[in-house]
Amino acid sequence: MKIESRLAQIGSQHDPATGAINFPIYQATAFRHPQLGESTGFDYSRTQSPTRKILEEAVAELEGGDRAFACSSGMAALQTVFSLFSQGDHLLVSLDLYGGTYRLIEQVLSRFGITASYVDTNDLEELERHRTSATKAVLIETPTNPLMMITDLEKVCTWAKKHGLLAIVDNTLLTPYFQRPIEWGADIVIHSATKYLGGHNDVLAGLIIAKGEELAERLFFLHNSIGAVLAPHDCYLLMRGMKTLALRMERHQQNAIKIAEYLKTHPMVEQVYYPYFPSHPGHDVHHKQSSGNTGIFSFRMKSAETIPHILKHIRLIAFAESLGGVESLMTFPSVQTHADIPEEIRRRIGVDDRLLRLSVGIEHVDDLIADLEQAFARAQKEVGGVFA
Amino acid sequence: MSDHHENDFHKHGHQPDSYHFETRTIHFGGEIDPHTGAASVPLYMASTFHHFSLDEPPRYDYSRSGNPTRYELERYIAQLEGGVRGFAFSSGMAAITSAFMLLSAGDHVIVTEDVYGGTYRLLTTILNRMNIETTFVDMTDLERVKAAQKPNTKAVFIETPSNPTLKITDIRATADWARENGLISIVDNTFMTPYHQRPLELGADIVLHSATKFLGGHSDLLAGLAVTRDERLGEELYKLQNGMGNMLGVYDSWLLMRGMKTLGARMAHAERGARRLAEWLAQHPKVEKVYYPGLAGHPGKDVHERQASGYGAIVSFDTGCGERTKKLLARVRIPIVAVSLGAVESILSYPAMMSHASMPPEVRRERGITDGLVRYSVGMEHIEDIITDLDQALADL
């Protein structure tokens, strides 16, 4: 079955009692045992609940994994995966990574003796240089956020396997609709499902997908023990969102390409970071391993001064954190999503005070371009002679 | 809008300290939405919030970091427990994990001996790998707690009454000793709820709840809550909640508040029934032992009465052997046989095979969690129906 059909059919026809087309939301926390030592498969909803199970099975299948686990947020998914590691363990992590991940590693995991090196995960020589006997995993984001750097999944997952490291891939920006990292050798895929999978900026959720029963069993144990599980109502909302994932991703991509092209030729914009462009250094690798482009990209303005004015004047596009929703959002990474990353690292990778990130929604693209056009024009006027 | 209405709005934001607990569970400050007057906190499903200007960051920017619906719940529990900051988590275990993660590698914690099986599992299979060292101690005797202290001890974790054998720890004495020794004292207050017991008022630093139980009260949501005594610990816990992302979702935050509004009425009813049930069981020939802090002869009764206003809704009892207990579980008609507790439905659990199954058998027996032990969580049914049902189940065992 094609992915569009599988998405549209998530949870349907699974309720044997009524045949309801949408699976019911089981709010129950406890389940009656038929008799001692017997279970319906559900005992306590932290361990497993019927609604969450439907979601987890669907996601595992979409990503090509063996089992999936739904968590209370993307960060909870990451924290659950990181709990696989012990004091003294070391991780290789993308240099251009989400600020929340950086904060979790540096402010929490470091206190438990787990350390990380921040590297270009597409550079095998650099990975090799930072690998020690304590290294246990490599965490890949491709494309990275916000600079859209690409990592060759097949190359790096093969390298990880050779050295006995877990290859963990954050697939938030592309979703299984465009990219399935397990097919390229990843052991674990994680998602902030708050983004494209949910798609409506109305639910926080995280997902873990594991390949291999032994690894899945360890993650199940942690998921249950740490208890950062996703609630039934939010599981339902997430499934409801996923039913339109294919349609939304197509429209996000279509709109993003047009806007990226518009910005590329705009005199106030210095550079647009989007793997769609053949000039993007990761273009070929990206199109080998993914079947499309995400709806988010970053661009660097020529002048930092114009940014507060642009953020003030955008009307249709909201100035907010997050991404991947039906509504377009503009983010200023250096003060929002990436504020916790030290300035030195931010500068090195280019997350500076001229960089903006645009999560393109599914509004009509002409309205979005018109909104940018008027905000840019007003910003230019207010900043004055700089661009005159 | 008339002046009259404006005055009403103002009035609803204010809770005199003189209000009784039951009144404060209804009039907690967030019960009236200031924008519309709605008599229930709205569900703000938004994951993200618009910044109207770069210079004025909004109060909420991303729901993991803060959400208006969850905030009302967090304020609500902080107020009921008499603390300064409240936090809502995706489950009781998520709250407990976060509290333990205030510690760092190399730290040591002293924990109630018959602690909840899930907490035991967390400490002995996950946090041990992060080099958090644990000593389990019978906390009915403060001298044993003192004897467990090491140079690297950073915290004391108390469950009172404990689960499932309802042992009592003197919260004030333990918290005072902890403070004198620079340790954080953490109390799991799930069994009592702030209706019966408020550990922060007795000197504890952090109170935790599996709000899945009495606070939610309807077996329909998983949630954990934490309240801190001061801002500093509150800020540390906030960083962990936001950093690890194990906060409670919006819908469940609302559902929990809805449950908490009837906490006083539910606890009063269940406790009255549990007292009657414990006394009845104590007289029953087929029952070898009853654990309930309200029974004469319970070794912790005096201490419990000093620190709590009631005995709670949980009664544990031992039929003497596993075979008899299994028959009992098959025969009961009123309680659901399940894990969990603290709901409108009575729940009968078998700790050895359910809540404490993750504890090794020898450790379990040492702690009185025998194969004959069951735990009865008294619900909202009529107590005479509960007793009649148990009577038929216990007959001819």
Q: What is the pLDDT of residues A177-205, one digit of tens each?
A: 999 999 999 999 999 999 999 999 999 99
Q: Nearest C-alpha of chain A: how many angstroms from B282?
A: 25
Tell whether A113 lies on the interface with B, counting CB pairs under 8 A: yes
Q: Is the distance from CB of B92 to CB of B212 less than 8 angstroms? A: yes
Domain boundary among the residues B260, B293, B313 is at B260
Tell whether A303 lies on the interface with B, counting CB pairs under 8 A: no
Write the pLDDT tens digit of every residue in A296-331.
999 999 999 999 999 999 999 999 888 999 999 999
**Residues 155-184 in A contacting B (C-alpha not used; CB under 8 Å):** none
Confidence band of B9 (pLDDT split at 50, 70, 90): very low
Q: Whole-number mean pLDDT of chain B?
A: 92
Q: Nearest to residue B188, comparing CAs of B201, B172, B203, B204?
A: B204
CB contact under 8 A, B249 and A204: yes
Q: Nearest C-alpha of chain A: how many angstroms from B363?
A: 19
The reported pLDDT for the residue numbered B127 is 97
Query: Above pLDDT 90, what percent of chain B?
Result: 78
Q: How far apart are CA B215 and CA B135, in angstroms?
A: 29
CB contact under 8 A, B221 and A78: no
Claim to verify: residue B115 and residue B255 sit in the same structural domain = yes
Domain boundary among the residues B229, B260, B291 is at B260
Q: B355 to chain A: nearest residue by CA?
A: A44
Core vs surface per residue B208-243: b (16+ CB within 10 A) or e: bbbbbbbbbbbbbbbbbbbbbbeeebbebbbbbbbb
Confidence band of B37 (pLDDT split at 50, 70, 90): confident
Q: Is the distance from CB of A313 to CB of A330 less than 8 angstroms? A: no
CB contact under 8 A, A72 and B54: no
CB contact under 8 A, B64 and A75: yes
Q: A100 to chain B: nearest residue by CA?
A: B243
Residue A176 has pLDDT above 60, yes or no: yes
CB contact under 8 A, A226 and B126: yes
Residue B81 has pLDDT above 60, yes or no: yes
The reported pLDDT for the residue numbered A385 is 59
The reported pLDDT for the residue numbered B138 is 94
Residue in A52, A195, A243, A251 annotated catalytic: A195
Helix pair angle (A245-264, A365-383), 10° resolution: 40
Tell whether A222 lies on the interface with B, counting CB pairs under 8 A: yes
Beta bridge partner(s), residue A369: none
Q: Which of A36, A198, A321 sits opposite B61 (nearest CB)?
A: A321
Q: Is the distance from CB of B89 to CB of B98 less than 8 angstroms? A: yes
Q: Nearest to residue B273, comparing CAs of B131, B385, B375?
A: B385
Residue B1 has pLDDT above 50, yes or no: no
Claim to verify: residue B91 and residue B196 sit in the same structural domain = yes
Confidence band of B396 (pLDDT split at 50, 70, 90): confident
The reported pLDDT for the residue numbered B5 is 37
Domain boundary among the residues B260, B282, B307 is at B260
- Measured CA to CA in angstroms, residue B329 lies from B60, B316, B382 at distances of 49, 14, 20
The reported pLDDT for the residue numbered A336 is 85
Contacts with A329 from chain B: Cβ below 8 Å: 48
Within-domain flag for B31: no
Within-domain flag for B28: no
Claim to verify: residue B201 and residue B67 sit in the same structural domain = yes
CATH of the domain at B389: 3.90.1150.10
- CA–CA–CA angle B209, B18, B160 (5° rounding): 25
Q: Does the structural domain A3-242 have CATH classification 3.90.550.10?
A: no
A245-387 fold: Aspartate Aminotransferase, domain 1 (3.90.1150)
Claim to verify: residue B214 and residue B321 sit in the same structural domain = no
Within-domain flag for B275: yes
Tell whether A318 lies on the interface with B, counting CB pairs under 8 A: yes
CB contact under 8 A, A226 and B50: no
DSSP-derived letter for residue A229 is B
Q: Is the distance from CB of A27 to CB of A52 less than 8 angstroms? A: no
Where in chain A are all domains bearing CATH 3.40.640.10? 3-242
Claim to verify: residue B170 and residue B66 sit in the same structural domain = yes
Residue A387 has pLDDT above 90, yes or no: no
Q: How far apart are CA B264 and CA B21, in angstroms?
A: 7
Name the least confident of A57-66, B33-42, B198-207, B326-335. Answer: B33-42
Tell whether A1 lies on the interface with B, counting CB pairs under 8 A: no
CB contact under 8 A, B330 and A194: no
The reported pLDDT for the residue numbered B11 is 42
Contacts with A100 from chain B: Cβ below 8 Å: 243, 245
Mean pLDDT across B365-383: 93
Tell whether A312 lies on the interface with B, counting CB pairs under 8 A: yes
Write the pLDDT tens digit of every residue in B109-163.
999 998 888 999 999 999 999 999 999 999 999 999 999 999 999 999 999 999 8
**Interface size, chain A vs chain B, as Cβ–Cβ contacts under 8 Å:** 209
Domain count, chain B: 2
Q: Nearest C-alpha of chain A: how many angstroms from B301?
A: 31
Residues of B marked as catalytic: 64, 116, 188, 213
DSSP-derived letter for residue A44 is B
How is residue A27 written in tokens? 């709010």
Mean pLDDT across A345-359: 90
Domain that holds residue B378: 264-394
Pick the residue of B49, B51, B56 with the most A CBs within 10 A to test the interface with A by mutation.
B51
Claim to verify: residue B120 and residue B205 sit in the same structural domain = yes
The reported pLDDT for the residue numbered B17 is 67
Regarding an ipTM greater than 0.90, the answer is: no
Claim to verify: residue B104 and residue B171 sit in the same structural domain = yes
Tell whether B54 lies on the interface with A, counting CB pairs under 8 A: yes
The reported pLDDT for the residue numbered B16 is 56
Contacts with B351 from chain A: Cβ below 8 Å: none
The reported pLDDT for the residue numbered A388 is 39
Claim to verify: residue B102 and residue B140 sit in the same structural domain = yes
Within-domain flag for B281: yes
Q: Which of B105, B251, B337 sits opposite A233 (nearest CB)?
A: B251
The reported pLDDT for the residue numbered B53 is 78
Claim to verify: residue B65 and residue B201 sit in the same structural domain = yes
Contacts with B211 from chain A: Cβ below 8 Å: none
The reported pLDDT for the residue numbered B61 is 87
Q: How far apart are CA B306 and CA B308, in angstroms?
A: 6
**Residues 181-200 in B contacting A (C-alpha not used; CB under 8 Å):** none
Tell whether B321 lies on the interface with A, counting CB pairs under 8 A: no
The reported pLDDT for the residue numbered B8 is 39
Tell whether A322 lies on the interface with B, counting CB pairs under 8 A: yes
Mean pLDDT across A13-36: 83
Tell whether A229 lies on the interface with B, counting CB pairs under 8 A: yes
Where in chain A are all domains bearing CATH 3.90.1150.10? 245-387
Q: How far apart are CA A5 and CA A211, in angstroms?
A: 23
Residue B283 has pLDDT above 60, yes or no: yes
CATH of the domain at B178: 3.40.640.10
Pick the residue of B43, B59, B91 with the most A CBs within 10 A to test the interface with A by mutation.
B91
Q: Which of A104, A307, A321 sits opposite B244 (nearest CB)?
A: A104
Q: Which of A29, A86, A237 sits opposite B222 (nearest CB)?
A: A29
The reported pLDDT for the residue numbered B7 is 35
Tell whether A315 lies on the interface with B, counting CB pairs under 8 A: no
Q: How far apart are CA B119 and CA B209, in angstroms?
A: 12
- A115-119: strand order across its sheet: A67-71, A206-210, A188-192, A166-170, A135-141, A90-94, A115-119
Residue B33 has pLDDT above 90, yes or no: no
Write the pLDDT tens digit of every residue in B163-186.
899 999 999 999 999 999 999 999
Q: Nearest C-alpha of chain A: how many angstroms from B121?
A: 7
The reported pLDDT for the residue numbered B363 is 85
Mean pLDDT across A90-108: 93
Tell whether B241 lies on the interface with A, counting CB pairs under 8 A: no
Mean pLDDT across A121-146: 97
Mean pLDDT across B28-38: 82
Residue A375 has pLDDT above 70, yes or no: yes
Pick the residue of A26, A32, A36 with the most B CBs within 10 A to test the interface with B by mutation.
A36
Tell whether A379 lies on the interface with B, counting CB pairs under 8 A: no
Residue B3 has pLDDT above 70, yes or no: no
Name the least confident of A11-20, A65-74, B9-18. Answer: B9-18
Count CA within 13 A, CB hemisphere, residue A384.
1
Claim to verify: residue B60 and residue B150 sit in the same structural domain = yes
